[in-house]
Amino acid sequence: MSDVSKIHSLNIPTNKNLDSFQQQLPDASDTVPVIDLSHPDAPKLMNNAFQTWGVFQLVNHGIPVSLLNSIQSFIQDLFDLPTSQKLKIVRSRESIAGFGLVPLSQVYPKRPWGEGFTLIGNPVDHLQKLWPEDCKKYCDLAEEYLKEMKNLCGKVMWLTLGELGITPEDINWAGSDGEFKTSNQALRMNSYPVCPEPDESIGLPPHSDSSVLTVLYQTTKGLQVLIEGKGWVTVEPVKDALVVQVGDMLHILTNGLYSPSVHQAVVNQTHDRMSTAFFFGTPKNTEVSPLKKLVTPTRPLMYPTVTWADYLSKKYELFEETLPSIRLSAPPPGLSNVNDQNQVKVG
Ligand SMILES: C=C1C[C@]23C[C@H]1CC[C@H]2[C@@]12CCC[C@@](C)(C(=O)O1)[C@H]2[C@@H]3C(=O)O
Ligand SMILES: O=C(O)CCC(=O)C(=O)O
Ligand SMILES: [Fe+2]
């Protein structure tokens, strides 16, 4: 257990006065925006939500409900496996892939309550070890889900960045057709059983994801997002909705314009909860720089060029200090860190 005496404040740049983009703080409502992807205003609403909340719930997203239901029963089967079976893909100290606690949970002062699997890249080899006989139905389902999630992330990327005048030519790793064929991906399945002392425990500690985008599927409440001036806001599950969050890499790519969603998973005394998080990432070793079109006199270059591989390795030791540790310029005037009430003890 590393020294927990360090107090880290979650340095969350909020995009208060992005004059060039007429930004405002999250609106007065206390709930995360719910956006209908089929609505003509969806691009503008998503772009605005990314700059203020860093997160929104997406409905009419085009992912078949049958697939969402299948993934929910898939993870139920996964966590119903005997522990001896789960331990066949227990993660190592060196790699986060597999079954086990994430590094963050091992240093956070509250008792980690739950279990999880992280599948990176192609999940088949891990799933084959869990179901040596009948892996096909699970492998096919996981591959189908990853394909659908990746397509959805591509759509959300172009619809939101398009509002900022960004086109596929501006993103070297998007591929000439803007299909993000070489992008990386990971899946994290979480299971949080009923907890007798929910206030002394945590499902998943406060963190931002290192992804470009994270698409989270939850059927019962437990996800909370940290919003300046509001504190922890519970993301009330909307039936068949997907929670889309800005990851650190998209925050860097947009030169700080999109806010990384800082979130946690809390536990409760009445119901078990499971969630599936899909991480859309850049190709592991591709150099990612803030988009030139988003570096302006009022918003100077905020981050250096990074690769996802380097960023992830920094993240496992610096956690929420990772972004501040690489930041080149302070956020434009009027952008502030989260106020005191959101100080959290980590590290
Ligand atoms: C693609 C990713 C994103 C990872 C690492 C890798 C796979 C597992 C992801 C998570 C999932 C749980 C929280 C987190 C903070 C963790 O420790 O593992 C995430 C981390 C990150 O977003 O940094
Ligand atoms: O379980 C949740 O609601 C959050 C999961 C999450 O943040 C993650 O897996 O990165
Ligand atoms: Fe997360």
What is the structure's pLDDT at 340? Answer: 30
Task: Establish whether residue 223 lines the binding site of ligand 2, counting it when its CB lies within 6 angstroms of any ligand atom.
Answer: yes
- Domains of the chain, by residue range, sit at 34-326
Query: Distance (Å, rounded) from C-alpha 176 to C-alpha 166?
Result: 14
| Interface predicted TM-score of the whole assembly (ipTM), two decimals | 0.97
Q: Is the CB of 225 inside a 6 Å radius of any atom of ligand 2?
A: no
Nearest CA to ligand 2 atom 4: 265
What is the gyration radius of the CA atoms in the chain, in angstroms? 19
pLDDT > 90? residue 23: no
Q: What is the pLDDT of residues 330-339, one digit of tens each?
A: 876 654 333 3
Distance, CA of 106 to CA of 112 (rounded, Å): 8
The pLDDT > 70 percentage for the chain reads 87
Tell me which of 209, 263, 310 to substitute to probe ligand 1's pocket, judged by most ligand atoms within 8 Å of the beta carbon.
Answer: 209
Residue with tokens 């949970």: 105
CA separation (Å) from 318 to 10, 95, 226, 266, 315? 12, 16, 19, 22, 5
At residue 251, the 3 state secondary structure works out as helix
| pLDDT value, residue 28 | 67
**Residues 158/259, Cβ–Cβ less than 8 Å:** no
Question: Which CATH number is correct for 34-326, 2.60.120.330, 2.40.50.140, 3.90.420.10, 3.20.20.150?
Answer: 2.60.120.330
Ligand 3 ion local residues (Cβ < 5 A): 209
Q: Which ligand is nearest to the CA of 224?
A: 2
Sheet (strand 273-281) strand order: 34-36, 55-59, 242-246, 213-218, 273-281, 184-192, 115-120, 98-99
Q: How far is the CA of 137 from the centre of ligand 1 (A)?
A: 26
| Range with the largest mean pLDDT of 29-33, 251-255, 341-345 | 251-255
